[in-house]
Structure 1
Amino acid sequence: MTEPTEGVPATGVPTCYRHPDRETWIRCQRCDKPICPDCMRDAAVGFHCPDCVKAASKGSRQNRAMYGGERSADPRLTTYVLIGINAVVWLVIAATGGGASRLANLFSLAPTGLCELSDGSGRFYPDVTDRATCSTLPITEWHAGVADGAWWQLITSNFTHVEIWHVALNLFALYIFGPALEGIIGRARFLAVYLIGGLASSVLVLFLSGEHSSTLGASGALFALLGALLVTARKARLNSQWLVQNLTLGVIITVVGWRMISWQGHLGGFLGGLAAAAIIAYAPKSNRSVVQWSGLAVLTGVLLVLTGLRISMLA
């Protein structure tokens, strides 16, 4: 019988694919390569080789967005859904009277209730502050406000449009900026920024707009996306020149059209987007998701507390 040379495995005995001088009968559960004890990596079932572990880790990282969360397979999907919701709301309002639609009054943001003429002119009785008195006047309709309990307007106003140019311009901007941000922070965080930005927009409108004002449109949420893109791009040291240019254009439009445009909503949305994105982008890598969602929850809570404070002031 021929004895094998010392240090050389016997013929027919499997050897580790990384260490050919080591005999082994253990194989990787994924690729079936023989692996020695130094190359074995614990797995849910059996062991994996270092190459399979590395490949799996790389694939896992590729499926993660830049700041945590699952990377969207199609970063346009959430934007398309938001565009669809805005478009459907506009179509229903247009089909039910446009500016005179009850749905427009129900969804648009009003700090306090308004007794409006029902002819769609936007005129109202400033001295009438309750539904009962309004109902006694001819050709009028009561438009409930947040202070009267119409809390849903804080969100629905961000999905409400009357004029076709308004909805078209906002949805085009959403189509441009939405997928860019979702591709960076993932679907759930993108939606959170959009909604929190819209809420922040409404809160600043409550504080800085007139008590008898009425505000609608997605512009506040869009400015939140701009603010969030600016934060995430700066954090990742990406070229943000195009963002600054678009932000500058938005500011110019807001200033020029300040009589028709809610600068309060634009500013509130932008600040809300900055804050939400900062929480997402600067959260520590350890327990990142917990820190991010906890921070966003706290931010939402602060906005709701401010809303309650303003309602108490208007009551």
Structure 2
Amino acid sequence: MDHQQGDHGQGQHQLPGCYRHKERETGISCTRCERPICPECMISASVGYQCPECVREGSGTGHSPAANQPRTVAGGLLVSDTRLVVKILLAINVTVFVAVLAVGDDLVSRLAMIAYAIDPGTFSMVGVADGQWYRLVTSAFLHQEFWHIGFNMMALWFLGPPLEQALGRVRFITLYLLSALGGNVLTYWLMAQNVLSLGASGAIFGLFGATAVLMRRMRSDMRPIAVLLGINLVITFLPGLNIAWQAHLGGLIVGAVVAYALVHAPRQSRTAVQYGTCLAVLALLLVACVVRTSILLG
């Protein structure tokens, strides 16, 4: 947790000076350009504070319309509805859940995550290793119990909007899907190959990791998210609950890594760093899947 040192008599504890008023020490930085700004130069933005120059650039003074649109800390476009993607994801999950209630276990067996096993109904091999790669994604939108979808959707509703606002819609959905995939890839590696796994928990834990990274970036109080994440991790590893801890851990790691790249990418090469990191994470996950498949088939 960041805090300001009260002793300014020693150089190593001295705070930087405002970029416009060098004599004024400050611990606050502009969320866009990261230059230190004093209270006089702070302009409240959707997330944190911005300096006068960044606000002026976002207002349309002397630049093309495309470049003048206000941007978030991650470079995404500011939007009025910060729950649009969250609502779409929630609707997909609820729709699939209703379909499961209507159709039954057959839909679950077709869409859930499973590595490689014999289908007791047809006595044929099924699973990701058998070429059903779609299970790595479809299982992340699949729930069977009311408590399971209720917990995950509640977490999505509360964790999603701040991230969608701070990252922008495209970056947010990328983070969500990569976290879901990361959770299922680790499940593919570490869970018994004939055990079904389903649920959005991998993606949700990715949002937990991303929230922690964003709060650290904004110099916010880390205690609330640390306590919440700690409680959920303890529950994850409690014996007897049959929770796929592999999905939780994989989603958490991928979410934190992707979020770090999104909010810490240097402004001059922001897009290249962000796209490059997301593509590198995706490539690593796909390679891991290929290797695991070769092991199971071998």
> Is TM-score (shorter-chain normalized) higher than 0.5?
yes
Deviations 1:25-58 (A, max 9, x none): xxxxxxxxxxxxxxxxxxxxxxxxxxx9784249
Equivalent pair of 1:167/1:217 in contact (CA under 8 Å): yes
Could you say if the C-alpha distance between residues 144 and 276 of structure 1 is closer, same or farther in structure 2, counting changes exceeding 3 Å? same
Paired letter, 2:108: A
Q: By how many angstroms is 1:105 displaced? A: 1.0
Residue 131 of structure 2 aligns with which residue?
Answer: 149
Residue 197 of structure 1 aligns with which residue?
Answer: 179
Between Structure 1 and Structure 2, how many residues are aligned?
Answer: 239
- The partner residue of 1:306 within 285, 288, 294 is 288
| TM-score with structure 2 setting the length | 0.76
Could you say if the C-alpha distance between residues 145 and 57 of structure 1 is closer, same or farther in structure 2, counting changes exceeding 3 Å? farther
The CA distance in 2 between the partners of 1:53 and 1:299, in whole Å, is 32
- The partner residue of 1:89 within 92, 96, 106 is 96
Q: By how many angstroms is 1:143 displaced? A: 7.1
Could you say if the C-alpha distance between residues 183 and 61 of structure 1 is closer, same or farther in structure 2, counting changes exceeding 3 Å? farther
Residue 56 of structure 1 aligns with which residue?
Answer: 60
Q: Does 1:104 align with 2:86?
A: no
Residue 227 of structure 2 aligns with which residue?
Answer: 245
Paired letter, 1:90: F
Residue 115 of structure 1 aligns with which residue?
Answer: 119
Q: By how many angstroms is 1:113 displaced? A: 2.6
Residue 169 of structure 2 aligns with which residue?
Answer: 187
Could you say if the C-alpha distance between residues 55 and 274 of structure 1 is closer, same or farther in structure 2, counting changes exceeding 3 Å? closer
Paired letter, 1:104: V
Residue 237 of structure 2 aligns to a residue in which SS? helix
The CA distance in 1 between the partners of 2:58 and 2:136, in whole Å, is 47
| TM-score with structure 1 setting the length | 0.72
Residue 218 of structure 2 aligns with which residue?
Answer: 236
Q: CA RMSD in A?
A: 2.1
Equivalent pair of 2:59/2:70 in contact (CA under 8 Å): no
Residue 151 of structure 1 aligns to a residue in which SS? coil
Gaps of 5+ in 2: 1-55
Q: By how many angstroms is 1:290 displaced? A: 2.1
**1:60-79 to 2 correspondences below 5 Å:** 63-79=70-86
Residue 242 of structure 2 aligns to a residue in which SS? coil
| Fraction of identical pairs, as percent | 34
Residue 275 of structure 1 aligns with which residue?
Answer: 257
Residue 150 of structure 1 aligns to a residue in which SS? coil
- The partner residue of 2:276 within 294, 311, 315 is 294
Q: By how many angstroms is 1:205 displaced? A: 0.3
Residue 223 of structure 1 aligns with which residue?
Answer: 205
Deviations 1:119-170 (A, max 9, x none): xxxxxxxxxxxx5xx1xxxxxxx57200001100111110000111111111
Paired letter, 1:70: L
Query: Which stretch shifts more, 67-76 or 294-303?
Result: 67-76
Equivalent pair of 2:180/2:251 in contact (CA under 8 Å): yes
Paired letter, 2:129: A
Q: By how many angstroms is 1:258 displaced? A: 5.5
